[in-house]
A and B are shown apart, each in its own frame.
Chain A
Amino acid sequence: EPEVTQTPSHQVTQMGQEVILRCVPISNHLYFYWYRQILGQKVEFLVSFYNNEISEKSEIFDDQFSVERPDGSNFTLKIRSTKLEDSAMYFCASNIQTQETQYFGPGTRLLVL
């Protein structure tokens, strides 16, 4: 069964460093999303992406964040200058059509020191 994959599974970085989290959505899906989950808290929407552009973003998704689909398979989240409070699990998700089930990846656990 097709699944969303994410790399790396864990990332440790120093405050102020740039990180890129990578996702490979399910191949025939057209809508892509990033979410984060701070330890012990609920999942929070960051951004949605369709047709090579951002379609919706939350107030969390400030200028430090960017997303890109550099080729036909990868979908990346870049955090330009990490802060301690960026430490969280980051989930990528995709679906074939908006309002349909979103399929989540296993997540990347980011720790900012």
Chain B
Amino acid sequence: KNQVEQSPQSLIILEGKNCTLQCNYTVSPFSNLRWYKQDTGRGPVSLTIMTFSENTKSNGRYTATLDADTKQSSLHITASQLSDSASYICVVSANFGNEKLTFGTGTRLTIIP
């Protein structure tokens, strides 16, 4: 069964600090891995998308890494801001032709001043 697991479940850091969120997946056949940001009560917003041949991708202060061999990904946030407070969801797409995403449970990140 395809699964995506994330850690930590929640994280609190001071504004300006960096943090790294982790994702492990068992999805086959793998197509791509995405990180989404979801504010409370809102729809997820895409941050990065990586295929198996990409091992890093940046979007501003967000940098995602992918190790397709160990089936692990991380999302690194630098110089955190209060607006970064949200859930960060790791999502993996299986290459069945028709797209079917498997979502992780997310990491709830809280930035405190």
Contacts and interface: CB of A to CB of B under 8 A. Distances in A.
A42 B95 contact: no
Nearest to B91: A43
Contacts of B104: 42
> Could you say which interface size class chain B belongs to?
20 to 34
Contacts of A58: 100
B82 interface: no
Interface string B26-53: 0000011010100001111110010000
B98 interface: yes
Given A43-B44, A43-B89, A56-B98, A99 B32 contact: yes
A31 B43 contact: no
A70 to B, nearest CB: 22
Most buried by B among A31, A33, A56, A98: A98
Most buried by B among A43, A50, A95: A43
Contacts of B31: 99
B69 to A, nearest CB: 21
B46 A98 contact: no
Contact of B46 (A45, A56, A102, A109): A102
A75 interface: no
A102 B104 CA distance: 16
Interface string A73-113: 00000000000000001010101001111111111010000
B101 A102 contact: yes
A3 to B, nearest CB: 9
Contacts of B36: 104
B60 interface: no
A103 B46 contact: yes
A99 B43 contact: no
A42 B42 CA distance: 13
Interface of B: 31-32, 34, 36, 41-46, 49, 89, 93, 95-106
